[in-house]
Structure 1
Amino acid sequence: MKYALISMFLGPTKDRFSTYNEPKTLDEKMEMIESMRGVSGVELVYPYEVSDVEDTKALLSRHNVEVAAINVNIKGEPEFKSGGISNPDPEVRAKAVRYIKQAKDFAQAIGADKVTCCPLSDGYEFCFQHDYVQVWEWMKEGFAEAGAYKPEIPLFIEYKPNEVRGRCVLEDASKTLLMIKEIGNPDIGVTLDYGHSLYGGNNPAEELALIHNSKVKYYIHINDNDGRWDWDYFCGSQSLVNYIEFIYYLKKYGYDDFLTSDTSPTRWDIKKMFETNARISEKISNRFDEIGMDNLSVKLSNEEYLDTWQFIEEQILRL
């Protein structure tokens, strides 16, 4: 497995009350990634962190960092406050689509193989706030247009239950898959964020299995939380057995892309947090190699779950 992180988490981050960590230049961020044990890639945020092709390529080369994805932001502009790709104003919707297309241009120019987008401003808070079908159709039309542009650079749509809206339109894997299936473009995929799945009341491993079985492409963000909010804790700190099962299915399905840390360091050492994500993920992966994936697969079909649990207890957790 290979590991990356989202570059914006190496600088200042905010919650409703506080700001954490000091600003860094992109060069300083790349230098930090280069120094991290087990981390070799970066997801860059467009257009707010990167926009100059040659400068970005030079920094990536100088620090020997790969690009996991280009993350395009369609929520930050003031006009996106009532939605980006589903905004009632057709000019605002067109701007959101244009941002995604420009992100694809940028990705291709620097050698990235995908663009990911989390439409967080597309949602609602109250009853009778908008026409659900109309908003769905606007989102579908926008993603269809953006996905059809430069299909050699696939677009991955990231779902989330809420934030910045009270409820996001694309809140879980099922709704995201439904939209992608309605669009019918094989070059549009899903970004599965482990924490978004977990605090949305879902099982990340089950959603991964659902996406894989649908034959839709997928890309992975890793982190952890307590199931009540998107805290962006480090991997395994709150839901270790769930995360072990998630890694099992990634290995079972032969996932060979980056596991990208969508993890906010806030009060904790930045370098240590991302190294921890890579380290714990790699240890779990290696444990499955030691046990043998087939041995656990046999246990999954065992009607008596306590026998399966004893296997997990002794062979995986080594208690």
Structure 2
Amino acid sequence: MSYQYSIILGNLGNTCDRFCKGYKDNPSSPEMLSRALAAMPGISGIELVGTWDIHSGNVKEMKQRLADAGVACASIIPDTFSPKEYGKGTITSRDPAIRKKSLDYLREMSYIALEMDCNIVNLWMAQDGYDYLLAADYDQGREWLKENTQKLAEEFPSLRFALEYKPKEPRNFSYHARMADSILAAKETGCSNVGITIDTGHSFVAGENVAEAVVLAKRAGDMLFHMHFNDNHGSWDDDMIVGTVHFATYIDLLFWLKKTGYNGWISMDQYPYREDAAEAIAESIRWVQHYERLVDAHFDEIDSLIKENDAIRTSRFLRKLVGA
């Protein structure tokens, strides 16, 4: 099976990190779409960040643009992370007015997803967590998280809400931090349309083996709804080109995605602050496609190696893949 590939449109435009307002000029959403299609002919989907790329006022325009380009809306990513009023939480804020406002915003984004014929709402609840000890009610925070996610999922049963986890940043501790606690958060809602997004870089920073995280989601009941790909050195969410740090990790990951029958999007999520964005993201796509081909060509051999549990034979196999 060949996967469908997508990109996050905003990755072509946001060039602002913690130290510089931008290393390049930020193009408009239409310009980013044109660049993406020119540099990445293999993509068939686009993820749109709510408010940045899409809002209630431009849904028809964006839907037509994607239709004209021949690509689908792979997911809607609500912007629950950049508005300053969400600095101390969205649906877990201690302020009931903020909890209501953020839930209403998520409802708006869900209606937009329906209008865009998109069935994935990717929830990266980045501000829902805490920074200081003895300053957060962990139990109450997770209860609000459950209640409001549940409300959303029950109101929009035809949509799938994918919880994207990350251990830290912008908060020091995130409620959706790793695969296991995110599975618990999804299960607590009692809604089968709440599942998980794995961002490979987030998993690396969390100290996970990302392939094992795939298996956990499978064992929990096919809860892996969506995938974001990027790379990093393991200490921070560097959002680098896939394959520039890890190799065997991605072979392992692509094998287990195939083994567990994952059939969702393979989406790139990286911020090339200094590099040409379209070309950097295109490189990630080429790497993942290469890993996919390697796994397809050697699937039975990899399966056999895993069963043998012989690290030396596995090492020889990996050397063979790189021509050594």
Give the 5 Å matches for 1:192-211: 192-211=198-217
- What is aligned with 1:317? 322
Determine the C-alpha separation between the residues in 2 that align with 1:297 and 1:109.
42
- What is aligned with 2:44? 40
Does 2:256 align with 1:249?
Answer: yes
Q: How far 1:271 moved relative to its partner?
A: 1.6
Does 2:56 align with 1:49?
Answer: no
- For 1:136, what is the secondary structure of its paired residue? helix
Does 2:271 align with 1:264?
Answer: yes
Q: TM-score, normalised by structure 1?
A: 0.96
Task: Tell me, yes or no, if the aligned pair for 2:248 and 2:318 is still in contact at 8 Å.
Answer: no
- What is aligned with 2:17? 15
* CA RMSD, Structure 1 to Structure 2 (Å): 1.3
- What is aligned with 2:34? 31
Counterpart of 2:322 in structure 1: which amino acid? L
Give the 5 Å matches for 1:1-319: 1-18=3-20, 19-35=22-38, 36-51=40-55, 52-215=58-221, 216-291=223-298, 293-314=299-320, 316-319=321-324
Determine the C-alpha separation between the residues in 2 that align with 1:244 and 1:285.
8
- For 2:308, what is the secondary structure of its paired residue? coil
- For 1:257, what is the secondary structure of its paired residue? coil
Q: How far 1:189 moved relative to its partner?
A: 0.9
- For 2:196, what is the secondary structure of its paired residue? strand
Counterpart of 2:31 in structure 1: which amino acid? E
Determine the C-alpha separation between the residues in 1 that align with 2:317 and 2:217.
27
Q: How far 1:311 moved relative to its partner?
A: 2.1
Q: TM-score, normalised by structure 2?
A: 0.94
Task: Tell me, yes or no, if the aligned pair for 1:211 and 1:218 is still in contact at 8 Å.
Answer: no
- For 1:13, what is the secondary structure of its paired residue? coil
Cα deviation 1:153-200 (Å, max 9, x = unaligned): 111111111111111111111111011111111100101100000011
Task: Tell me, yes or no, if the aligned pair for 2:167 and 2:177 is still in contact at 8 Å.
Answer: yes
Task: Tell me, yes or no, if the aligned pair for 1:154 and 1:187 is still in contact at 8 Å.
Answer: yes
Q: How far 1:235 moved relative to its partner?
A: 0.5
Cα deviation 1:213-269 (Å, max 9, x = unaligned): 111242100000000000000101111111121111112222222211110111111
Counterpart of 1:6 in structure 2: which amino acid? I
Counterpart of 2:295 in structure 1: which amino acid? F
- Structure 1: unaligned runs, 5 residues or longer: none
Which consecutive segments of 4 or more residues in structure 1 shift more than 3 A? Answer: none
Task: Tell me, yes or no, if the aligned pair for 2:15 and 2:274 is still in contact at 8 Å.
Answer: no
Task: Tell me, yes or no, if the aligned pair for 1:154 and 1:189 is still in contact at 8 Å.
Answer: yes
Cα deviation 1:35-91 (Å, max 9, x = unaligned): 113222211011232112211111112222221100011122222111011000112
Determine the C-alpha separation between the residues in 2 that align with 1:304 and 1:257.
32
Task: Tell me, yes or no, if the aligned pair for 2:225 and 2:264 is still in contact at 8 Å.
Answer: no
Cα deviation 1:193-214 (Å, max 9, x = unaligned): 0000001111111111111111
How many aligned positions are there? Answer: 317
